[in-house]
Amino acid sequence: MIFYTLPVAGLRRAGAVAAAVTAVLSLGLAPVAHAAPGDATLPLGDADLVESRSSQTLTRGVTLTRIVRGTEPAPADQINTTTRGPWVVNVLTIDPKTARGHLAATYGPDLAKVEKTTDLVRSAGALAGVNASFFTFTASAQYPGEQVGLGVFGGKLLSEPTGDPAEANLVVDARSNKVMMGRLRWTGTVRNPKSKVTLPLEFVNHPPVIPAECADLVEQTQCGVSGDLVRFTPEFAASTPAGAGVEAVLDERGCVVRTSTTRGTTLLAGQTSLQATGRDTVALLAVAKGCVKVTTTVWDEKGEQLALRAGTFGVTGRYRLLADGRIVVPSGSDSFFARNPRTIAGTAADGTIVLATIDGRMTSSVGTTMDETAAVAAALGLRDAINLDGGGSTTMSVGGALVNQPSGGTERAVGDALVYVDSRFTGR
């Protein structure tokens, strides 16, 4: 759910790619000599179902494959139960050994807004992309694009891991196209070097949630609101969230530019701010004097610190599908685990990167349960895979053109996207 200005070859080249790809899509995908992703047929439905595959090389090292399993539309009342399908799966395969470009993550004008995946692909000058992170969507009318979990863009931690056991993170090094998956954790602190006082940082670019009956600062104290200490960056929105509380604006050295006993301000380039609500307001006012040191650190599942460099990007999924070749998706009975459109990101043992979408909730493609999604990921030859945001968000775009069929009939605006840019990463 987030934006980073990617160094790309330029919109003129992207436009040429878009025109070429649009022509390919309009004519249908022509079979190519090399094998499609995975050798096995998809383990979906009855064994006698007809399965067809068509594949097209988009550029060196990048292939788009369309898999259709089942030939007859599903009865509308059997979408969740039919064993006859059909299923439509689009698979983008990137071979880092031969591809000239890089994988990255991108968002719209700011973190808080939502943008269509096709627009994110176009604005990044990318060849292709899929929707990525889970985001607040309907939970926040003012900030619908805010990520729910890890968000790293160009080496900047712009959204923190939640600690939710269901969260599954994907981190890519754009310089090498190496991908890591797992459940990351983080810590953040605000320290005043002179007073030696340290406060725990609780969120990054996450608007404080305050009960309506505790709107102003006095009421927050009376309500016993413990409060939050949040760091905001210019990438979040045109202005930081407004409301009762305290806000301290810092320059690029961490020195306090101004403090206010209300929240909400416009940050200039290089500035960040610290917001506090409830009981944390007194502590922030005491610490935000002179210069402070704000530290954020991210660790992987092995407990090793993740180096956040210019080429580091990270997005948030929900549930790991495969780990070291094993299906690890948990069992569940709610609607999330039932058949839905799905977006998958994963890697094969040789480092090949796969981004895939499974259309769903339609008679033309019924979607997959979480168990079926993991089985599909394995059949595509993946060793590690996570489930990205799905449902109405599931979208694949190539050359700025829509490849799959969104379940809502029209493309949904999302928080962020994983994109492939057909040029080397040159960020500093």
Residues 6 or more apart whose CB falls under 8 angstroms from that of 419 comprise 6, 103, 104, 105, 106, 120, 121, 124, 126, 127, 128, 129
Average pLDDT over residues 86-102: 97
Domains of the chain plus CATH, in order, are: 11-183+305-421 (no CATH), 187-296 (2.60.120)
* Cβ atoms of residues 395 and 130 within 8 Å: yes
Calculate the alpha carbon distances from 154 to 175, 304, 372 in Å. Answer: 11, 20, 34
* pLDDT of 9 higher than 70: no
- Classify residue 295 by burial, with Cβ atoms within 10 Å: 0-12, 13-18, 19+: exposed
Q: What is the pLDDT of residue 33?
A: 36
* pLDDT of 3 higher than 80: no
| 3-class SS of residue 416 | strand
Report which of 394, 327, 367 is spatially closest to residue 81, judged by C-alpha positions: 367
pLDDT band at 174 (very low <50, low <70, confident <90, very high): very high
pLDDT band at 138 (very low <50, low <70, confident <90, very high): confident
Upstream peptide bond of 86 is cis (omega within 30 degrees of 0): yes
Residues 6 or more apart whose CB falls under 8 angstroms from that of 57 comprise 32, 63
- Residue in the block written with tokens 């057909």: 422
Q: What is the pLDDT of residue 8?
A: 32
Sheet of strand 102-107: strand arrangement: 102-107, 416-421, 128-131, 396-398, 401-402
Phi, psi of 280 (to 5 degrees): -75, -10
pLDDT band at 185 (very low <50, low <70, confident <90, very high): very high
